[in-house]
Structure 1
Amino acid sequence: MAKSIQVAGKRIGEYRYLHTSALHELGGEIVEAVYNAAKATGLQSETDFNVVKLRKSVSEITLLNYPTFFDEAFPVLEQSWKVDISTSLYRYRAYSESSNPPILHRKELLLAPDHPDFQRFSDLTKEAEHIGLFDDTSRIGFLREWERLLQLKGYEVNDHSFLPIANDMSELSGNIEESQEIHRHLTALTRTQLSAPMQSLARYGYLDQSKSVFDYGCGKGSDVELLRDSGLDASGWDPYYSPDAIKKYSDIVNLGFVINVIEDLAERKLALASAYKLAGDCLVVSAMLENANARGGTPFKDGVRTSRNTFQKYFSQAELGAFIESVLGVEPVPVAPGIFYAFKTDGAKAAFLTRKGSQRRRPSDFTSRRLPAFRTKPKSHVSPSFRKYQNNTAILEELWTTWVNLGRAPKSNEIEKLEDIRRLLGSYPNALKVLRTVKGDEGVAILEKAHFTRYDDLTVQFAEYKFYRTPPPRPMPEQFKEDVRHFFGNLANAQSAGENSLLQVLDKQKVLSACAEAAEKGLGWLDGCSGQLIPDSILSFSAATTGGMPSLNVWGRCRL
């Protein structure tokens, strides 16, 4: 059989994976091949295996057994049977005794879109993406690396949710001491890596030494030490461990897992408001989230009291966001489970959206190309531009990175080391000329791609303004103002571009084209469509971005 597979499922290379409950989504020949593979191995679907692995052309089928597919967020593979369809011979492998078995991610991709667990699994995947767990796919395929990555990111998995590892929860239940005093300091952890909220700041580029950071309620000060070791301007205050430290006004203030250990509501609100006053750009607020395994202890006020007389208030994600907004009067932005950013100005929020948009780009697309070092002394025929580049590589590569990130030539007031550039290369325009010459045609291609990527990022940003009925920041930050002028001409054009992009979801033919393009790239699937969108088509879609380019990530199914 050589029937090509154009169906539902999770695609990895030339293979597709899908749950046996989604077999009805496949064509008859493929279903028959799966049936024959099961017959050859003597297995029963659902009982002995529940996931099928298919090649692009059905020459072999692998039957996989994930016994806890629906029970565990990231189930472990226990058994596999690889079947040669032409000979009915198969190879069996057991993983039940392995100390590092394969595990499964993005389970929703293996199900039909109408499956009752589809949305639950999709939400889990979105949380993992927000935390950054899927940034490096080479680290998530096996149990040991996955568990190390979770610990490094500061999260644990509970049911189908991620919970930040925040406070010391040992001895949660037991005999409560007679003393009524709550010992908040006993919840502080000694960390060997940055906490989850600090890692979120690193993910969005805030820990690049350009911002000062203050940790309000820093506990034992592990985060502050780690930041200082990395060269950041970081300090902290804690009422127990560092009571004499100065509460310092800083660009970024972190209120990390503090409000959930304060038993008095009025004091909890005061801590939140006080931390916000110290922030120049942004306050990061994090708290413990509800989970079924943390309901021990004795009910106390709006939380629980532990055997060591510590207090824990468990929030839902929505409750935490609502609490922050009610106290600060600003709508916080959720960035990960249990973590919100509350911005002080519209400009700071706009800058974050720019940073967030830049996450959609693939860093490898913009890797700076350095010229190989000369093995011998350069000969006289080497051009002056190449010689200037060789003598000033570091500062020119820094300028090149800024150029690519902006998607346009930086203005002179956007360059931090402008005076050094002028001193070393004569003038700023001359530095740009040297880069154009040295980077050559490859550089031109990189800049063109960066230009269109940045244009698309900004278009999506203005589409979001329109969708959420939020006006652009006033006054506009200088960089944002220059972006608007360069890419759109003026603000009205930028708003029009965002609105037009948003209205494209009403164009059925464009939706179909986006569906087909996404399916070809393995983003979702397009099942059984003839190539024309017909009146009784069913399409559910969500706006998304891939690699910096706005597109429709569509789960679609067409009735013929």
Structure 2
Amino acid sequence: MSVGGLAAKSNVSTIPRHLTAIARTDLSKPMSLAIADGVVVRNSSVFDYGCGRGGDVQRLTAMGYTAHGWDPGHHPDVEIRPADIVNLGYVVNVIEDPAERVQALRSAWGLAREVLIVAARPDWEARTLPGRRHGDGIITSKGTFQKFFTQEELRAWIDGALGVRSVAAAPGVFYVFRDGIRAQSFFASRIRQRPVAVRRPKVSEVLYDAHRNAMDGLAVFVTGRGRLPEAWELGSNVECLLDAFSSVKQAAAVLRRVVGERDWDNDLAAARDRAAQDLLVYLALAAFAGRPKASGLPPDVALDVKALFGSYKAACEQADMLLRQVADQKAINTACTRSPIGKLTPEALYVHVSVLGSLDPLLRVYEGCARALTGAVSEATLIKFARTAGKVSYLAYPAFDRDPHPALWVSLRADLPRLNVKHRDFSASANPPILHRKETFVPEGYPGREKFARLTRQEERAGLLEENSTIGTRDGWQRRLNELGYRLSGHRLLRAAPR
């Protein structure tokens, strides 16, 4: 994106910022994230401040959103207007004057009624872009300026310039919320586990059958939150339920009968345990950004606290105990060692991202500390919990499901004591690290798990996995296959044809 001649329009840059604008074929990363995260919703108005060629505005409009954008180089005549969501996407990194950079941030923040999205290029991209030093950045071969930010540097810069606490959405992308309660709702939603599948009714019930969709919505809420909802929490289902039943409580009583009282009670107890763990993880991690007072909790979270812990004070006391353990590497090591899920090595515990919500709450807080630093790493396949150092890594294996021994594509490591994020790119490596024993990373019921396990058994019988020190890379693994006379066809091990 490009920007220049900001609100005051007093600075004239001799650097051609408009040349940094990219012609995109899809939504930019920050806008895609904001939609996926529920920050941008259907009734949101969006303003792209420094929109470049206007690709995001065009695509958002085509998708049915109310979107406008301004850019001094490409769309200088568009009215600069307030909006619910303002996007400052890859703008601050092309401004060479630090004072003007801050002015751009504050101008965009002044337009945002609800949320400001700020995106900038992360420091590891500097390795791929040669240039000569200029100020705190570089001048590229095109004559444009680029300033690269470390993750914590970008956060500190935003927070310092605006006097707020931003939320890491992803590497290089932050959200700044106007309303603290909305920020807490977003934070809590990222931690909450998905509801479990609702049991099928055991008996026929006329009222249930007549209002199945609304009743199933009630069941999903209960299994996700471990409590009965208030009427306002049911959204569009509430009118249907209250027309058929005198109260939500009566509807739940009918649901309990048709599901089976014992099964319902067991499901509710399990849901309460999961929801209590989610709440403790949320409150523990909320301490980093300044845990809200009870009056600052989202209404639904306040109801969770009352139902699951009785009081906010009691919940915070338990969350603080959990948070203190994160600084105890022995406690982290014990939690890794005892984990029934994942692959344990002498240095770390590796788990598939799909099992994060099922881990010990201490490991969830450990990972949450890392995510508070990095933001969500959407491309991650595995999470690596270091057992002897405060480090959590996100590992991307794009071919995990289809390749019997997938190659590592990208690694992003959060070093918690140093507040540092390290990025390593293996995508162009001729000999990248690869995985074995894929079934050990995933939970029971994971699609393809039995296929993974069957291949591991075949490789064990063939003696292929005995040389751990040599088979961890693509070349080393291929040599081992050749030495013992085997080849792979999908997830099947076959004898190689004689040479």
Shorter-chain TM-score range: 0.5 to 0.7
Distance change (3 Å), C-alpha of 1:246 and 1:474 = farther
2:271 aligned with 1:450: yes
| Aligned twin of 2:23 | 190
Native 8 Å contact 2:326 2:362 kept in 1: no
SS in structure 1 of the partner of residue 361 of structure 2: strand
Separation (CA, whole Å) in 2 of partners of 1:211 and 1:547: 34
How far apart are residue 275 of structure 1 and its match? 1.5
CA RMSD of aligned residues (A): 4.0
| Aligned twin of 2:100 | 267
Separation (CA, whole Å) in 2 of partners of 1:420 and 1:268: 50
Distance change (3 Å), C-alpha of 1:328 and 1:417 = same
Distance change (3 Å), C-alpha of 1:224 and 1:482 = farther
2:33 aligned with 1:200: yes
Matched letter for residue 28 of structure 2: S
| Aligned twin of 1:108 | none
How far apart are residue 257 of structure 1 and its match? 0.5
| Aligned twin of 1:459 | 280
| Aligned twin of 2:304 | 483
Separation (CA, whole Å) in 1 of partners of 2:219 and 2:68: 32
| Aligned twin of 1:355 | 189
Native 8 Å contact 1:389 1:434 kept in 2: no
Distance change (3 Å), C-alpha of 1:299 and 1:502 = closer
SS in structure 1 of the partner of residue 165 of structure 2: coil
- 5+ residue gaps in structure 1? 1-165, 168-178, 372-380, 528-538
2:235 aligned with 1:413: no
| Aligned twin of 2:210 | 388
Aligned equivalent of 2:161, options 316, 327, 336: 327
| 1:323-381: CA deviation from partner (whole Å, max 9, x where unpaired) | 212211123233322112223243233122202212xx3x4x6345788xxxxxxxxx9
How far apart are residue 486 of structure 1 and its match? 1.8
Matched letter for residue 271 of structure 1: A
Native 8 Å contact 1:514 1:551 kept in 2: yes
Separation (CA, whole Å) in 2 of partners of 1:515 and 1:505: 12
| 1:12-31: CA deviation from partner (whole Å, max 9, x where unpaired) | xxxxxxxxxxxxxxxxxxxx
Q: TM-score, normalised by structure 1?
A: 0.53
Aligned equivalent of 1:500, options 321, 327, 330: 321
Separation (CA, whole Å) in 2 of partners of 1:346 and 1:322: 18
| Aligned twin of 1:366 | 196
Native 8 Å contact 2:19 2:144 kept in 1: yes
Native 8 Å contact 2:86 2:111 kept in 1: yes
Matched letter for residue 477 of structure 1: P
Distance change (3 Å), C-alpha of 1:424 and 1:370 = farther
Matched letter for residue 196 of structure 2: F
Matched letter for residue 514 of structure 1: A
Native 8 Å contact 1:249 1:279 kept in 2: yes
| Aligned twin of 1:252 | 85
Separation (CA, whole Å) in 1 of partners of 2:15 and 2:80: 23
Q: Percent identity?
A: 35
- 5+ residue gaps in structure 2? 3-11, 350-354, 367-384, 389-499
Separation (CA, whole Å) in 2 of partners of 1:402 and 1:299: 55
SS in structure 1 of the partner of residue 235 of structure 2: coil
| Aligned twin of 2:244 | 425
Matched letter for residue 236 of structure 2: K
Native 8 Å contact 2:90 2:119 kept in 1: yes
| 1:175-205: CA deviation from partner (whole Å, max 9, x where unpaired) | xxxx974333332223333322223324433
| 1:506-537: CA deviation from partner (whole Å, max 9, x where unpaired) | 9999767534322x42254469xxxxxxxxxx
| Aligned twin of 1:342 | 176
2:341 aligned with 1:521: yes
Aligned equivalent of 1:318, options 127, 130, 152: 152
How far apart are residue 287 of structure 1 and its match? 0.6
Native 8 Å contact 1:253 1:278 kept in 2: yes
SS in structure 2 of the partner of residue 551 of structure 1: helix
Separation (CA, whole Å) in 2 of partners of 1:343 and 1:256: 16
Separation (CA, whole Å) in 2 of partners of 1:526 and 1:236: 52
How far apart are residue 246 of structure 1 and its match? 4.5
| 1:48-69: CA deviation from partner (whole Å, max 9, x where unpaired) | xxxxxxxxxxxxxxxxxxxxxx
Separation (CA, whole Å) in 1 of partners of 2:144 and 2:268: 55
Separation (CA, whole Å) in 2 of partners of 1:473 and 1:247: 38
Q: How many residues align?
A: 350
Separation (CA, whole Å) in 1 of partners of 2:332 and 2:132: 54
| Aligned twin of 1:219 | 52
| 1:221-263: CA deviation from partner (whole Å, max 9, x where unpaired) | 3333444444445443333444444544444322111111223
How far apart are residue 444 of structure 1 and its match? 5.5
Matched letter for residue 223 of structure 1: D
Separation (CA, whole Å) in 2 of partners of 1:212 and 1:439: 43
Matched letter for residue 321 of structure 2: N
How far apart are residue 550 of structure 1 and its match? 0.7
Native 8 Å contact 1:212 1:251 kept in 2: yes
Distance change (3 Å), C-alpha of 1:462 and 1:198 = same
How far apart are residue 286 of structure 1 and its match? 0.8
How far apart are residue 498 of structure 1 and its match? 1.2
| Aligned twin of 2:471 | none
Separation (CA, whole Å) in 2 of partners of 1:414 and 1:546: 23
Between stretches 296-305 and 439-448, larger displacement belongs to: 439-448
